[in-house]
Amino acid sequence: MSVVLAATVGALFTVGTFLLLRRDLMRVVFGVAAVSQATFVYLIAMGGVDEGTHDLVPVLAGHGSDVPTVADPVVQALVLTAIVISFGTTALALVLSYRAYEENESMDVTEWVR
Amino acid sequence: MSGLVIAPLLVVLVTAVLALALGRRPRVQRAASVAGVAAYAAVVSAVVWAVVLGPDAPGAAAYQLGGWPAPFGITLVLDGLSAFMLTITAVVGLASMLFSVRYVSAENQRVYYHPLFHLLTVGVTGAFLTGDLFNLFVWFEVMLIVSYVFVAFYGTDYATAASFRYLVLNVFGSALMLVAIGGLYATTGTLNMADMARRLAEPAAYGVDPAPAVGLAALLLAVFALKAGLVPFQFWVPAAYTAAPPPVTAMFAGVTKKVGMYAIVRLYFTVFAGAPVGIDVPGVPGGSPLAFLAPVLAAMGVASILVGGFGAVGQDRLERVFAYSSVGQVGFIAVAVAVAAAATGPLRGVAIAAALVFALHHSLAKGLLFLGAAAVKDATGTDSLPDLGGVAGRSPVLSSAVFVGLLSLVGLPPLTGFFGKLLTFDAAARGLATDARALSALALAALLLGAVLTILYTTRVWARGFWGLETPAVEVATVDTGQVAVVAALAVMVVLVGVGFDPVYRFAETAASAAVDSEAYVDVVGLDGGGSA
């Protein structure tokens, strides 16, 4: 499980960093979103993902014989908060990039005024 | 007593909502907004008096949100350090709100200016008060989202570009902060700053391995240095500061920048200082994450002083001179904090007090200068030095006020800046006399060079912008008396704080001792489920 999580975090950070360094505005915004996603997966991994027991998840375990794996509820709350913030920031970034496109008439960051 | 801690936050939140609700009635909104800032200042002074400064004040108080006991719920803590920063916020906030009402055009004030202004204060206040690491992130975001909007406020090509760059940079910074917070949670098993301090101080008792905390703390240092605009993270500062409305720039330079420095001091000195991790750094004694902080922060501070100083000398617009100057001035604060980190014993408190006094000086003087530059720009239509000249003859009051601000930056007694510089030099010199020699010598040399650069660019601003013959732009200028009154009031404040410096210094000392006393911090948060006084 941790290998999968680590690989996911690594891949997301790679993609995010790559996109952040593009000249095209939309890619930068997608890069911002990808980097944020990477930190969310990382946060979940930091809380630990364990085999669930009947004590740990009584409701989920009551439906069917399988007990699912569970993540630390504290980091789930943190990630939830961070997702909301990231959602707002990404929306603002999209609005700003549209506005910047209107003002500068280009999606290419290098053609902007200094 | 503990209920008081949340009062400043509630006041400013209510004001923000009220300003939003009154959006259709501009006059009422403006009145409510000014009243709200005044109420904030009043509440902050009352709370600070009751909790920290008053005759039988407890020195610190904690408020458990929702009644959830400390390590599990979110705690708000008001101690000397937070109180000092809140006081700065209240003063700068009041001045820049009064100035905005006269400066920002009526149409622009209707475009969410007032609610945003208060939400900026909400973010800052929350960041100063919170005792929870993740909550610190949340308050940072509140503050940052508002500042993105403010940087883009005028909607010009320059402003949107500046705002977009600022946003991307800070989102990446926030991602790094989350990584650090997640790591610290995995390392220590807690997010409460007091609990974290306790666990890191006695790792064996709690089964914690403190070693990863050093690297994660370094990550946090990068994030906070980005917020504070320290070199090498300073490149967003000039663009963002010139794009935002000038009264808000006064808030940026005076208050939000200090949030980064506050977070460095709070986390390193209160939370991480006790962690027994041996790191050998040449020239620096001590064996905690602080030993790592000292040389890094000193290097950043020295670089900031140089980049800010040389950058300011070369600029032709008032706002840009002051924007670069504020990079340099934050460097002075960072150097003082670095001296504190390298020091052991009482020097540590002295150096933090020096950093705090310098922060106070910078907030007042730079707020005054940004507002003064805005008043000049409003009257003449330009703030570029070649087009200015003779403002001193046109408006003596405004010019004398700006002159006081410039002198305070230079550090002439008895202005606030004199004490800021004196204490910083004193701390560095004392560091030279005891241990940490190489570091202190470097810091002292940079401080001297920085002081010389400050004299250079302030002289240039004064000689080219305010003295000399009146240029065409200045000849027809009429300054707004309301704006001048605010700037002059700040100038009087700079003089008064300098003249009556003793109580201010005692406040800074209280704040510094609160910053280094993590046991008291742990006590007041009351981790054993008991709550606090």
Taking 50 as the threshold, does the pLDDT of residue B39 lie above it? yes
The answer to whether the Cβ–Cβ distance between B163 and A96 falls below 8 Å is: yes
Chain B partners of A112 at a C-beta cutoff of 8 Å?
157, 161
A84 to chain B: closest CA residue: B138
Name the token pair of B139.
Answer: 């308050």
Residue among B342, B340, B260, B280 at smallest CA distance from B516: B340
Is B149 in the A-facing interface, judged by CB distances under 8 Å?
Answer: yes
Cα gap A82→A84, rounded to integer Å? 5
| CA nearest neighbour of B79 among B64, B59, B63 | B59
Question: Which of B158, B167, B183 is closest, CB to CB, to A96?
Answer: B167
- For B456, how many CA atoms within 13 A lie in the half-sphere containing its CB? 16
pLDDT tens for B317-357 read 999 999 999 999 999 999 999 888 888 778 888 999 999 99
Residue B6 has a pLDDT of 92
Residue B314, burial from CB neighbour count under 10 angstroms (0-12, 13-18, 19+): exposed
Q: Looking at beta carbons, which residues of chain A come within 8 Å of B182?
A: 39, 42-43, 45-47, 75, 78
A94 close to B (CB below 8 A) = no
Q: B161 at the A interface (CB within 8 A)?
A: yes
Tell me the whole-structure pTM to 2 decimals. Answer: 0.92
pLDDT for the residue A27 = 92
In this structure, are residues B422 and B277 in contact, taking their beta carbons and an 8 Å threshold?
Answer: no
Q: What is the DSSP string of B120-159?
A: HHHHHHHHHHB-BHHHHHHHHHHHHHHHHHHHTTT--HHH
d(CA B95, CA B247): 9
Distance in angstroms (rounded) separating the CA atoms of residues B215 and B233: 19
Least Cα separation, residue B426 to chain A (angstroms): 40
Total residue count of chain B as it appears in this document: 533
CB contact under 8 A, B161 and A39: no
> d(Cα B388, Cα B368) in Å, to the nearest integer?
19
CB-CB: which of B134, B163, B239 is closest to A78?
Answer: B134
Mean pLDDT computed over every residue of chain B: 89
Residue with tokens 């406040």: B507
Tell me whether A34 touches chain B (CB under 8 Å).
Answer: no
Render pLDDT for B237-292 as a digit per residue (tens, 0 to 9).
999 999 999 999 999 999 999 999 999 999 999 888 878 776 666 656 556 677 77
pLDDT > 90? residue B362: yes
DSSP state of B73: S
Query: Which pLDDT band holds residue B372 (cuts at 50, 70, 90)?
Result: very high
Is any Cβ of chain A less than 8 angstroms from the Cβ of B499?
no
Q: Do A97 and B175 touch (CB under 8 A)?
A: no
Look at residue B533 in the predicted model and tell me its pLDDT. 37
Average confidence (pLDDT) over B406-427? 90
Distance from CA of B156 to the nearest CA of A (A): 7
Nearest-by-CA chain A residue for B158: A113
**Does A39 contact B179 at a Cβ distance shorter than 8 Å?**
yes
A71 touches chain B (CB under 8 A): no
When scoring A96, A103, A108, A111 by the number of chain B Cβ atoms within 10 A, the one with the most, hence best to mutate, is A96
Give the relative orientation of helices B157-188 and A25-47 as an angle to the nearest 10 degrees: 10
Cα separation values, B65 from B45, B69, B70, B129, B131, Å: 22, 8, 9, 12, 11
Question: What is d(CA B288, CA B268) in angstroms, rounded to the nearest whole number?
Answer: 10
ipTM of the complex: 0.90
- The verdict on B163 touching A (C-beta cutoff 8 Å) is yes
**B66-110: pLDDT as tens digits:** 888 878 888 999 999 999 999 999 999 999 999 999 999 888 888
